[in-house]
Amino acid sequence: LHKQQPPLKIAGYAHWKGQVLTAEELNVLYEGIKLNNVNHYDYILTGYTRDTSFLETVVDIVQELKRLNPKLVYVCDPVMGDQGSMYVPENILPVYKDKVVAVADILTPNQFEAELLTGRTISTEKDALDVMELLHQMGPDTVVLTSTDLTSPHGDQFLVALGSQKMVRTDGSKSTQKIRIEMPKVDAVFVGTGDLFTAMLLAWSHHHPNDLKAACEKTVSVLHHVIKRTITYANEMAGPGKRPNPAQLELRMVQSKKDIEDPDIVVEATIL
């Protein structure tokens, strides 16, 4: 959370309440965790952050936790904006660029965030693959562009996501798995789908650490089931011919428990 009233796009709601955790308060919480010797983690996930010193503290903590567990996987969703505009202060970008991405193992920018981090524009799939390569060079072995404006080979009714994973084969040589995932677009704006994507990618990467295709197929299948259940319910609530409002479009997470735990695979990724 953050100090100023955020743009509607990110909060997703007309009203916003609550407090902002400062870098100092985060440090105090972490001190408490350390005192109890419960600072051994396998995964860390971070998302929407507006404050540079808070984000720098996150990096310090991630580095310390990685020293305690060298296998720790840090999943970073570098939430900064969408569709060409930033919804965090601009001074957060250099912190992601120079400090955060370097310690991330899995990075889940959308197209705009990937462009910000690399200073490149993405107009073609080739551009996107180049940008993911640049992001690998900055740190993370796994990069997923969670949504792009690229045209799907299956037509403009599909949303394209792209992924790239660096791996070391058993013989020590290196390889990269690159994939394209297409999913049917739904004509509505959802809140929390970016967070759900990153959370599911963490969970399914745990089960498929060296198979980004499998992890992404399960991730996007979960998104599909949750979105489908949500839009079906929202349309029902809104009534015939009416567009659902944001309250009706709240993600049907609890109702989707079974799909989240064990999704039917409805999306097949293409190996590039």
Burial of 214-249, coded b for 16+ CB within 10 Å and e otherwise, reads: bbbbbbbbbbbbbbbbbbebbbeeeeeeeebeeebb
User: Which of these segments, 8-16, 55-63, 100-108, 119-127, binds Na ion (CB under 5 A)?
Assistant: 100-108
Binding partner selected for residue 183 from ligand ATP, Na ion, Mg ion, none, CB under the kind-specific 5 to 8 Å limit: ligand ATP
Specify whether 149 is catalytic: no
Question: What percent helix, strand, coil does the chain show, rounded to 5?
Answer: 45, 15, 40
Tell me how far apart the alpha carbons of residues 169 and 226 are, in angstroms, rounded to a whole number: 35
Residues 56, 82, 130, 141: which binds Mg ion (CB under 5 A)?
82
Nearer to ligand ATP, 123 or 175 (CB): 123
Residues 65, 132, 159, 162: which binds ligand ATP (CB under 6 A)?
159
Tell me how far apart the alpha carbons of residues 255 and 79 are, in angstroms, rounded to a whole number: 27
Bridge partners of 161, per DSSP, are: 181
What is the number of the residue whose Cβ is closest to Mg ion? 194
Site residues for Na ion, 126-155, by CB under 5 A, read 146
Binding partner selected for residue 54 from ligand ATP, Mg ion, Na ion, none, CB under the kind-specific 5 to 8 Å limit: none
Bridge partners of 44, per DSSP, are: 74
Contacts of 23 (CB under 8 A, 6+ apart): 51, 53, 54, 56, 57
Place of tokens 């969970």: 203
List the catalytic residue out of 195, 211, 262, 264. Answer: 195
Nearer to Na ion, 150 or 244 (CB): 150
Single-letter amino acid code for the residue at 143 = V
How far apart are CB 257 and ligand ATP at their closest, in Å? 18
Give catalytic residues, as residue numbers: 195
Footprint of ligand ATP on this chain (CB under 6 A)?
A: 77, 79, 82, 110, 113, 146-147, 159, 161, 183, 185-186, 188, 190, 193-194, 197, 220, 223, 227
Footprint of Mg ion on this chain (CB under 5 A)?
A: 82, 110, 147, 194
